Amino acid sequence: MSLNSEANLSSMEPTCVDTSLNLNVIPSSHIDVAGEFLVEELRRLNSENKRLSETLKHVCESYVALQKHVSEFNLLKNADFEKEEKPSPKRKVENGVNAYAECNTEEETFKRPKQSTTPKVSKVFVRTDASDTSLYVRDGYQWRKYGQKVTRDNPSPRAYFKCSYAPGCPVKKKVQRSVEDPTVLVTTYEGEHNHGEHEMEISGKSESPGGGGGGGTGSVGCSRSASSGRIEALELVHSRVVDMNAQKSWIHQFLVQQMATSLTRDPNFTAALASAISGRILDDTSMSKR
């Protein structure tokens, strides 16, 4: 879940994976003539490993710095949209727009210039399971779906919900999958609930498709009421942190796999390892005999 991943952030924060291997496993004593070659080979691999570790460390640092810059840039962009109060209802410029950047904008706020009181709009990004194709986001409120539409800029359908907990609650939400990452559900909330947050249901029964049956979607729920843009920005950053952590974890696994694969595929290494182990066993047996 997203909250846990935030807690793991501190442990993940050391930007780079420690890929260095302690290859000095053979004591310098008890080396015969054949072993010298192995030691030489191990030294060579060790130095190469150190060099690669340095390179990887540098790449990781650059990556994290770049991510930081992107986050700061998007936060600034968000702040700029809040400052702009002129209602300029303009249709979106489609195609080639970064999904995240597009979701930062608050254009929906300005699409209804007739309304004297513009409803508060907020967006929440929810990462779901790749196999989960539903558009149901469990956020603690009870929603009634009243429409679904395929929009021009996104092949995945957009679902429209109304808050059904209180009869007069004006809050609506739209749920649509991100263009770039279909596992991310972009939820847009409009308006404010006229009932308290204590009414948020606990059983997790709401928002299940098919006539209020059980279930749920298995998606990550970010419960919140529609509120300030600052919280939106935090949500946005939070979702990105989750993404970054996932990426780091993936990189970690990938590197470990790559190392294991490359080492096991190297006939020199496997031969050296086998002889080193057998040599060590022979040493131990000869030592115990004395």
User: Which residues sit at the interface with DNA, rule CB under 7 A?
Assistant: 89-91, 108, 111, 113-114, 143-149, 151-153, 158-160, 164, 172, 174, 207-213
H or E element: which one contains 66? helix 33-83
- Are 269 and 263 in contact by the 8 Å Cβ rule? The answer is yes
Nearest distance from residue 193's CB to DNA, in Å? 16
Number of DSSP helices (H) and strands (E) in the chain, helices first:
6, 5
Q: Please state, in angstroms and rounded to a whole number, the distance separating the CA atoms of residues 153 and 156.
A: 9
Q: Please state, in angstroms and rounded to a whole number, the distance separating the CA atoms of residues 174 and 261.
A: 45
Nearest distance from residue 88's CB to DNA, in Å? 8
Q: Please state, in angstroms and rounded to a whole number, the distance separating the CA atoms of residues 48 and 41.
A: 11
Of 74, 58, 44, whose CA–CA distance to 241 is shortest? 74
Nearest distance from residue 208's CB to DNA, in Å? 7
By beta-carbon proximity to DNA, the closer residue of 27 and 214 is 214
By beta-carbon proximity to DNA, the closer residue of 16 and 191 is 191
Q: What is the CA radius of gyration of the chain?
A: 28
By beta-carbon proximity to DNA, the closer residue of 145 and 240 is 145
By beta-carbon proximity to DNA, the closer residue of 153 and 243 is 153
Nearest distance from residue 1's CB to DNA, in Å? 23
The residues, ordered by sequence, that sit 6+ positions from 204 with a Cβ below 8 Å of its Cβ are 138, 216
Q: Please state, in angstroms and rounded to a whole number, the distance separating the CA atoms of residues 45 and 20.
A: 11
Q: What does each C-alpha distance from 199 to 143, 144, 162, 190, 225 come to in angstroms?
A: 13, 16, 16, 18, 12
By beta-carbon proximity to DNA, the closer residue of 58 and 149 is 149
HSE of 95, CA atoms in CB hemisphere, 13 A = 0
- Are 176 and 159 in contact by the 8 Å Cβ rule? The answer is yes
Q: What is the DSSP letter of 219?
A: P
Nearest distance from residue 226's CB to DNA, in Å? 14
- Are 192 and 120 in contact by the 8 Å Cβ rule? The answer is yes
By beta-carbon proximity to DNA, the closer residue of 14 and 113 is 113
By beta-carbon proximity to DNA, the closer residue of 152 and 290 is 152
By beta-carbon proximity to DNA, the closer residue of 143 and 189 is 143
Q: Provide the terminal-to-terminal Cα distance of the chain, rounded to the nearest Å.
A: 58
Nearest distance from residue 236's CB to DNA, in Å? 19
Nearest distance from residue 195's CB to DNA, in Å? 16
Nearest distance from residue 97's CB to DNA, in Å? 12
